[in-house]
Each structure stands twice: as C-alpha cells, then as structure tokens.
C-alpha cells in the first residue's frame, strides 16, 4: 500500500508541475501480444501467452513536442500456465490460469529528440481491475494451492485479487509520431494470489508473495 501511495503522489506531483496542454491531446488505438508469469504461484508454473488491446491519449506537457502524459485503458490478458519444461507430459502441464483485466496504465513518455521518427521511453503506474479468471486443465493432485477453492474448479486456488497494482516500463520507436512499436515490462507490486500464502506444506515458495510480471510487444496508431 505504501508503494501505491508513493507512486500516486509522484504521478500527481508530475502532473501539477507539468505544462499540460489538454487542447492538443491526440488519441490512438493500441494492441499487441503478452507473455506473463506469476512468481511463486502454481506448481508446475510456466508462461501464458495472450494479448492486450485498447485506447490511449497523448497529452503534451511541454512546448517542444517531446514529453507527454499517456494514459491508456486496455483489456489485458495475463496470468500463467503449467508449461514448465521439467513437467512435460505430467499432471498440470496443460493448465491455464488466465487472469483478464481492465487495465489503466498512466505513462510519462519522452521522445529522445524532437525528430518526427524517433525512439522513446515511458514509465508509470499501472492499475488493473480483474474482469474474470478462467482456469482450464488444472492438475488433479493439488501440488500446492490455496485453501479458498473456486467452486467450479475443485482443488484450484481461490480468485486472483480483484485489484492489481504494478509499475510499467516501455521502450519503443515512433514512425512520424503516428505508428509506434512498443515493448513493455510490467512488474506486479501487489500480491496476485493471497490465498496461496496460507497453504500448508514444505515448499518455501508457498509463503512468498505472488508477483505477476508481463512482457508485451505491440503497435499503436496515433490519430491526427
């Protein structure tokens, strides 16, 4: 909670000190692929491949067409799978733990120069609200799961937390400030599966925080 408050306060101070020009705001659409994992969670544990898509706004914060506040609203597919190479062919390898969010990242974005086609970097907080959680092909031997089970999937951990806070970072290239390719990394700060921390067992990872990390690669189109 302290990290959330500090990040929000930092964002507020940036917004208050910036020379924001809402009249010059540009809008766009964004979409891409995601590659996500949740640390210290299910066993076996592997990556899930999904996608994101939504809209964005670019709000200038200087007079040089170089720095922006860029809020986005997205459908974001995350979570994990059971595809650990050491468990191939075993119970749980084909499991999918899909956490699907309505996600709102707020980036501070800076182009490396005032050139029309240029690299850029961005960073900021991400606020994600769980839309649904879908579990398929869960293992039957309950290697370690939470005590609060999903009724439709006996033996499977309880729901992911309804709100997830993370820190988002991105690097990309803009072609004429209109078509942009962006690689992003999102580090989860909040605990994705609180119930799993109470599972009795001998595995030391059970008591550790379950942090959701997401790598993504996508395209954005900025309307004129």
Q: Do the Cβ atoms of 214 and 34 come closer than 8 Å? A: yes
Per-residue pLDDT tens over the stretch 83-94 = 877 777 777 788
Q: Do the Cβ atoms of 109 and 119 come closer than 8 Å? A: no
Q: Is a pLDDT exceeding 80 seen at residue 222?
A: yes
Confidence of residue 202 (pLDDT cuts 50, 70, 90): very low
Per-residue pLDDT tens over the stretch 38-52 = 887 777 778 899 999
What pLDDT, on the 0 to 100 scale, is given for residue 158?
54
Q: Is a pLDDT exceeding 70 seen at residue 24?
A: yes
Q: What is the mean pLDDT of the chain?
A: 81
What pLDDT, on the 0 to 100 scale, is given for residue 148?
46
Q: Is a pLDDT exceeding 60 seen at residue 8?
A: no
Across the chain, the runs of DSSP E, i.e. the strands, are: 26-38, 48-60, 67-81, 96-111, 118-136, 163-175, 179-188, 212-222
Residue-range domains of the chain with CATH: 2-222 (2.40.160.20)
């Amino acid at each position: 909670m302290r990290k959330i408050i500090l990040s929000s306060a930092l964002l507020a101070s940036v917004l208050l000190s910036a020379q924001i020009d809402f009249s010059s705001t540009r809008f766009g659409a964004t979409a891409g692929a995601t590659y996500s994992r949740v640390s210290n969670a299910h066993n076996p544990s592997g990556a899930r491949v999904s996608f994101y898509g939504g809209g964005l706004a670019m709000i200038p914060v200087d007079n040089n067409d170089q720095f922006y506040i860029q809020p986005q609203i997205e459908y974001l597919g995350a979570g994990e799978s059971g595809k650990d190479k050491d468990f191939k062919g075993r119970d749980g390898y084909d499991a999918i733990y899909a956490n699907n969010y309505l996600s709102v990242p707020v980036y501070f974005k800076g182009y490396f120069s005032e050139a029309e086609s240029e690299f850029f970097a961005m960073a900021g907080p991400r606020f994600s609200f769980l839309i649904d959680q879908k579990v398929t092909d869960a293992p039957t031997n309950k290697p370690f799961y939470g005590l609060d089970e999903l009724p439709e999937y006996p033996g499977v951990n309880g729901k992911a937390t309804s709100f997830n806070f993370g820190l988002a970072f991105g690097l990309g290239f803009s072609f004429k400030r209109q078509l942009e390719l962006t690689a992003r990394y999102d580090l989860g700060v909040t605990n994705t599966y609180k119930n799993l921390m109470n599972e009795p067992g001998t595995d030391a990872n059970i008591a550790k925080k379950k942090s959701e990390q997401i790598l993504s690669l996508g395209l954005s189109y900025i309307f004129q």
